[in-house]
Amino acid sequence: MEKAKSFLPWSLRIIISFLFIISAIAKMYPSPYFAISTFEVKQLYPLGFSDTLAPFFSRFLIGIELALGILILQNNFLRKIIIPATILLLAVFTTHLTIVTIQDGGNSGNCGCFGSLLPMTPIEAIIKNVVAIALLVYLLYLLPKDSNGNRNFWFLATMTLASILALFMLAPIQPKSALELPSSEITSEADSLTIENNNSTALIDSVEKIIKKDSVKNGKPEKTAQKIAEVQPKNEPAPHKSGYTKFFSKIDTGRKTLCFFVPGCDHCREAAKELTELKQKNTDFPDVSIIFMNEEADLIPAFFKEAGAEYPYTIVEVIPFWNLLGPKTDTPGVKYLWNGNTYKYYNGITDKKFDPIDYQKLISKSYSELTSKK
The answer to whether residue 118 scores a pLDDT higher than 70 is yes
Instruction: Taking residues 42-51, report their average pLDDT.
Output: 87
The answer to whether residue 268 scores a pLDDT higher than 80 is yes
Per the CB < 8 A criterion, the answer to whether 312 and 164 are in contact is no
Per-residue pLDDT band for 187 (boundaries 50, 70, 90) equals very low
Q: Residue 111: what residue type?
A: C
Under DSSP, the state recorded for 349 is S
pLDDT reported for residue 145: 75
The answer to whether residue 228 scores a pLDDT higher than 70 is no
Q: Which domains does the chain have, with CATH numbers?
A: 2-173 (no CATH), 189-371 (3.40.30.10)
Instruction: Taking residues 302-310, report their average pLDDT.
Output: 96
Least confident of 29-38, 217-226, 315-324: 217-226
Average pLDDT of the chain to the nearest whole number: 83
Instruction: Taking residues 75-84, report their average pLDDT.
Output: 92
pLDDT reported for residue 188: 41
pLDDT reported for residue 217: 52
Q: How many CA atoms lie within 13 A of 6 on its CB side?
A: 3
pLDDT reported for residue 331: 94
Residues 168, 170, 171, 175: is their CA dihedral positive or negative?
positive
pLDDT reported for residue 372: 75
Per-residue pLDDT band for 201 (boundaries 50, 70, 90) equals very low
Higher-pLDDT residue of 222 and 356 is 356
Per-residue pLDDT band for 192 (boundaries 50, 70, 90) equals very low
pLDDT reported for residue 102: 79
DSSP annotation string for 281-314: H-TTPPEEEEEEESSSGGGHHHHHHHHTS---EE
Least confident of 21-35, 62-76, 115-129: 115-129
User: Does the pTM exceed 0.85?
Assistant: no
Question: Three-state DSSP class for 335?
Answer: strand
The answer to whether residue 304 scores a pLDDT higher than 50 is yes
The answer to whether residue 222 scores a pLDDT higher than 70 is no
Per-residue pLDDT band for 111 (boundaries 50, 70, 90) equals confident
Q: Which of 34, 58, 50, 59 shows the shortest CA–CA distance to 116?
A: 34
Instruction: Taking residues 192-217, report their average pLDDT.
Output: 45
The answer to whether residue 127 scores a pLDDT higher than 70 is yes
pLDDT reported for residue 246: 92
Task: Beginning with the edge strand found earlier in the chain, give each strand of the sheet holding 333-338 in spatial order.
Answer: 313-316, 287-293, 255-261, 333-338, 341-347
Per the CB < 8 A criterion, the answer to whether 161 and 336 are in contact is no
Instruction: Taking residues 29-33, report their average pLDDT.
Output: 89
Per-residue pLDDT band for 197 (boundaries 50, 70, 90) equals very low
The answer to whether residue 80 scores a pLDDT higher than 80 is yes
The answer to whether residue 2 scores a pLDDT higher than 60 is no
The answer to whether residue 236 scores a pLDDT higher than 90 is no
Under DSSP, the state recorded for 246 is T
pLDDT reported for residue 234: 62
Instruction: Taking residues 282-291, report their average pLDDT.
Output: 94
Under DSSP, the state recorded for 247 is T
